[in-house]
Amino acid sequence: MSPRLLFVATVFVCIVNGILSPVLFIVLAVSPLWAPTIVGPSPQVILLLSSLIVSTGTLLIAGVPAALYERFAGLEHSNRISMGMWLVAALFLTFPAFQTLL
């Protein structure tokens, strides 16, 4: 698989985690801290933004092992191994969401 296809798969896994993760309820619970109170967004907007926060957090945290590998290996560009590591880390972080799905 090409690195681009692995990245697309990683983003898809992170989106699934953002929708189904148990962490979503925690982000929803603290939404008064980060949601703009002036606009008064609807519950649908708060849910969408919470899902986006969880998805982005998953993508960032899952990228840490791949970034460390690239740094220690002295790579200038991502290769299939580092992108595969990123995908595996995202799948590992998404495991609780898959349990919720089942």
For 7-42, write each residue's pLDDT tens digit: 999 999 999 999 999 999 999 999 888 887 766 678
Over residues 55-101, the pLDDT tens digits come to 999 999 999 999 999 999 888 888 899 999 999 999 999 999 888 77
- Cβ contact 97:15 at 8 Å: no
Task: Encode burial over 25-44: b for 16+ CB neighbours within 10 A, e otherwise.
Answer: eebbeebeeeeeeeeeeeee
- Cβ contact 53:91 at 8 Å: no
Q: What is the pTM of this model?
A: 0.87
| Euclidean distance between CA atoms 8 and 87, whole angstroms | 9
